[in-house]
Structure 1
Amino acid sequence: MNRLKLLCAALAASLTLPSCIENDLPYPVVVCAIESIAAEGLAGDPAIDASARRVTLPLLETTDIREVRITEATITEGAEASLAIVGSHDLRLPLAVTLSRYQDYAWTIEASQTIERRFAVAGQIGATVWDEADRTARAYVGTDELTSVEVLALKLGPAGITRMSCADVPDLNESNLSALHDFTTPRRVDVTYHGRTESWYLTVEYTDLKVDWSRIDAWSHSAWLYAQGQSDAQPGFRYREEGAEEWIEVDAAAIAVDGGSFSTQIRGLRPQTRYEAVASSDADLTEVRSFTTEAALPLPNGGFEEWSKPGKIVYPYLSDDDAFWDSGNKGSATVGETICEGDADVRPGSSGTRSARLTSKFASVLGIGKFAAGNIFIGTYAETVGTNGKVNFGRPFAAHPVALRGWLKYTQGKIDRIDKQPPGQTLTTDDYDQGSIYVALGTWTAAAYGGTDQSPVQIYTKDQSTFFDKNAPDVLAFGELVLTESVDGWTQFTIPIEWRRTDAVPTHLMIVCSASRWGDYFTGSTANRMSLDDFELIYDYGDL
């Protein structure tokens, strides 16, 4: 009996033992992302902002935002979505979707749509004031006689699918706008499209203002002048350096007119100089408006003259205190490789003695490793995580260059290393690798992009959702050169920088140069080489 009790106790203990063992093994971290998406009725390419986990679909104005049809969507392999992304969705509000594998990642899919609306009247002063939320449009004129206003243009819905009507005109269109002339009180216009009707209210009001400034956006060598005046008057601008006696008149052909608004760009200005400007509408003048041009900031170590090697790693700077550029050498050095270094081969006519040489390699130990693209970039290499790297792009910079100019040589080879495929592409060993240089200016923050205050945009090669997106909302300007064939001798290049706005001031600058364009995906050619020398930022459009 005692033996039986002991056996039962032992059996009970063995059955309860597993419940006392905790699984302390952590789940792997797999960041889930929407990698690609397609939809009907788009005005351009979808923008995937991996840092904000947001997809923006730019809709044509004729697309029904309440029934946006998403036709394709690719998410991280192995992940599951909380709802079917492919299908029709009402995107008046962002669509929330959670992607899950071992962890949950909340994404949103939203739509951006601009419906071009116009309301212009004869003798209008300034631009029409629109309130989309309240559906009102207000125009100003220089007379208080509002019973016989001539409407010059009216468009309140998407082109080709909109029907307009008002109390005394059941079918309001371009041929009978003259019937809409009495604006002693606001006029209601019913607008129907996509089977739904909304009411807009149009107002015309008197103003004694003849001409006024809207704003001035001053860069280092140019300035944009914006003003408003009477639509049927002759607009004009004049400017001069402060203290000068003579005014410089802007040629009428250089003035853009949009109803009662007009603008121009003046070029050939001097950096950090104070100027005066006046806007005119016929004989009426604004007050004198002063503005100061900004500094034309130089590009630190643009000649790639400064190099150091305090240990086994080559750095494109002399010390941490003056670091502006960096490379992937910290990562490749873990297996004894250098993919970026100074070189005595400089471009003809250079005043310097060094250039940058980028070499793509298969960085490995005993045949185990990954492809490493030769690269140099503005920012800092953050850390190596396993066989992946984290780099932080960007440095503080508040200026408006219009181009990046420099010198390069480039050797191109066929792809011989393929790890991951770039979205939308299927690269093979029959394809040639490509080199790339791109420049971007923006208002990125470390909080939004994972880097530091100095270098805010963090790229983690293990997580494609962190890869740089030129269409992200914080990108103010961008330019890129893609090299699709070898460049045998030193050749000068110029990359124009396209600005989205003239009034925004960037906080950071990034330049990224890679001997292998798809290096982030560990795909490319070990034959690729790129040499770079004498980079400079161009600020004067006259120098292009």
Structure 2
Amino acid sequence: MINKLMYVCFCVLAVAACKIENDIPYPIVEGNIISMEVEGQRASDEGGSAQAVIDKSKRTVRLYVDDSVDLSQLRITKFTVSDGVTLIPDAGKCHDVSSFPTVGFGSLAELSASSDTRVDFSKPVTFTLKTYQDYLWTVSVTQIITRNIVLENQIGKAVVDAVNRNVAVYVSKDQPLNAVKVSAFQLGGEHGTVIPDPVTYDAYDFSQPATFLVSHAWEEVSREWKVFVYQSEGVSTGSTNIFTRTTSATLKGDIQSGKTPVVEYKKQSETGWTTLATSAITVSGTSYTALLTGLSPATSYQYRISVDGTAGDVRSFATGTATPLTNASFDNWYQDGKLWNPWPSGGTSFWDTGNRGATTISDSNSVPTDETSNGTGKAAYLESKYLMMRFAAGNIFTGDYVRTDGMNGVLSFGRPFTSFPSKLRIHYKYSSVTIDKVGDDAYRYLKGQPDSCHIYIALTDWDKPREIRTRPSERQLFEKNDTHVIAYAELVQGTSDATYRQLDLTLQYRYTNRTPKYILIVATASKYGDYFTGGTGSKLWVDDFELIYD
């Protein structure tokens, strides 16, 4: 009996000894939404970008759609996500959850015919992006319905009460209410229907409140709306607002339909008025937009609007300052041990480099040089190197190097800035070599091709500087299509220069009604350096940058 008991104990101990503990932690792989598109997608306002607003830090996506689509069964046409992600939608919001794709897709053409990407976006929808961890993202869709009404001799915009379905419109006192010509009557939005449609009449009787049956594009039912038209003693021009920049201004206002405003402006210190060319004025229904250009920076101006020979009140505005670029000559540097910093000793930094990361294992690879564009002062010499099993692109940028995270960097992109330059003038010289180092499989196809330098400028309205992280598992980089980018210009060059070149990078303004908060300028000897990819020995010299205001 004792022998049997000992045998049993031995077996138990042997089994216990053979037990394998799996204490190896799962890697952290973030699940991110890269891009998203839906049917009927549009910009949130006129002149804006229609791209989805993606906030990776809050894991939110915001989209806007027009009135041609039904929010309750809105089809997603593009949904790209980071590598290794499994898509899990909210089952209660899907039209058919069993047919919803489990992986990202660049277009509907990539999916099988049985796939169904329709989702009820009447309220925000949650998607789970599953890697080794679960990442919850919230997608919100806002539908914009523009109810545009333009009557003959209308004064100002129609007053629309969408809740009670009532509309009030004011016309001039000389306009007979029983015979009003209608040029636009979109009570149901741009794609909706109105019965009867007064646009099809030579003139419509609004002497009494008029009733119409209105339906949106996605509806099979109609609802009753009432339209009230009143004669008014109002003036031909209504309120105006002006958005000023450094050398230009955009003036918007209301006007009686059928009229064209005359815009006059002058410097406050002068007496003579300048009449704006009619080609710079756009009239649409009861609204107009006027673009004033060629203005002087930091100057007070006056303007007035005239209609039918009657001038309105004189109003004032001031243009913004032409803020120069700090240390744009790259003359000021100081050395702290192996670390070269692009600002004077004891001074305040505006530019920074990746040197602090490079000097943990080698020397600075972004340094001052006497090889300048004009033979005086200093220039920035940026060289891409291979340092201790890691490729490091020579670079300089407006912002701060925050810290080194292992063999990766954490940066802060952007400096406070509120002006409106038209160009960035640069002097540069580039020596390209063949790409021999690839740190990301997605860019392996570049090996053996010429390396490219990259110089770019962005004006943004971020709420704070953009944090940049190069660690692959938590990579967060600058995205030029970010909806917070107001203006952008860039140079990408894969050929070498024997001497310095001067080039103007013309900023393309994507929004004309938003003021910048930050300026970001980046120059790097290897375009794909953020992915530790490039050519060992690529060299970029930059000197005498200048912001141009014209």
- Give the match for residue 449 of structure 1: none
- Give the match for residue 279 of structure 1: 305
Residues 307 and 317, structure 1, Cα contact 8 Å, conserved in 2 = yes
Residues 191 and 197, structure 1, Cα contact 8 Å, conserved in 2 = yes
Residues 361 and 373, structure 1, Cα contact 8 Å, conserved in 2 = yes
Structure 1 residues 405 and 213: CA distance shift in structure 2, 3 A: farther
TM-score (norm 2): 0.81
Describe how 1:133-532 pairs up with structure 2 within 5 A: 139-143=169-173, 145-155=176-186, 162-165=192-195, 169=196, 172=197, 176-178=200-202, 180-182=204-206, 184-185=208-209, 187-194=211-218, 196-197=220-221, 199=223, 202-210=227-235, 211-319=237-345, 321-348=347-374, 352-363=376-387, 365=388, 369-420=389-440, 427-446=445-464, 455-463=465-473, 466-532=476-542
Aligned pair 1:126/2:156, yes or no? yes
2:134 to 75, 80, 104: 104
- Give the match for residue 124 of structure 2: 94
Structure 1 residues 360 and 10: CA distance shift in structure 2, 3 A: same
Secondary structure in structure 1 of the residue aligned to 2:359:
helix
Residues 69 and 217, structure 2, Cα contact 8 Å, conserved in 1 = no
**Residue 496 of structure 1, CA deviation:** 2.0
Structure 1 residues 481 and 51: CA distance shift in structure 2, 3 A: farther
Mapped to 2, the partners of 1:527 and 1:138 lie a distance apart of 70
Structure 1 residues 133 and 354: CA distance shift in structure 2, 3 A: farther
Describe how 1:76-91 pairs up with structure 2 within 5 A: 76-83=82-89, 84=100, 87-91=117-121
Mapped to 2, the partners of 1:117 and 1:442 lie a distance apart of 32
Between the two proteins, the alignment pairs up a number of residues equal to: 516
Structure 2 counterpart of 1:501, which letter?
Y
Mapped to 2, the partners of 1:113 and 1:515 lie a distance apart of 44
**Residue 12 of structure 1, CA deviation:** 9.4
Mapped to 2, the partners of 1:16 and 1:288 lie a distance apart of 92
Residues 51 and 466, structure 1, Cα contact 8 Å, conserved in 2 = no
**Residue 370 of structure 1, CA deviation:** 2.1
Mapped to 2, the partners of 1:13 and 1:39 lie a distance apart of 61
Mapped to 1, the partners of 2:255 and 2:278 lie a distance apart of 15
Structure 2 counterpart of 1:153, which letter?
A
CA deviation string 1:58-86 (max 9, x = no partner): 65765554444445644333443333556
Identity rate, percent = 32
Structure 1 residues 10 and 318: CA distance shift in structure 2, 3 A: farther
Structure 2 counterpart of 1:29, which letter?
I
**Residue 135 of structure 1, CA deviation:** 6.5
**Residue 243 of structure 1, CA deviation:** 3.3
CA deviation string 1:173-215 (max 9, x = no partner): 85x2436442632543423524534546555444433223421
Structure 2 counterpart of 1:97, which letter?
F
1:534 to 537, 540, 544: 544
Structure 1 residues 245 and 192: CA distance shift in structure 2, 3 A: closer
- Structure 1 portions without partners, runs of 5+: 447-454
Mapped to 1, the partners of 2:83 and 2:518 lie a distance apart of 34
Secondary structure in structure 2 of the residue aligned to 1:489:
coil
Mapped to 1, the partners of 2:24 and 2:429 lie a distance apart of 50
Mapped to 2, the partners of 1:465 and 1:209 lie a distance apart of 58
TM-score (norm 1): 0.82
Mapped to 2, the partners of 1:135 and 1:342 lie a distance apart of 68
Structure 1 residues 414 and 67: CA distance shift in structure 2, 3 A: farther
**Residue 400 of structure 1, CA deviation:** 1.7
Structure 2 counterpart of 1:244, which letter?
E
**Residue 466 of structure 1, CA deviation:** 2.2
**Residue 415 of structure 1, CA deviation:** 2.4
Instruction: Tell me which moved more, 110-119 or 514-523.
Output: 110-119
- Structure 2 portions without partners, runs of 5+: 43-49, 90-99, 103-116
- Give the match for residue 452 of structure 1: none
Structure 1 residues 421 and 196: CA distance shift in structure 2, 3 A: farther
Structure 1 residues 254 and 192: CA distance shift in structure 2, 3 A: closer
Two-structure CA RMSD over aligned residues (Å): 3.6
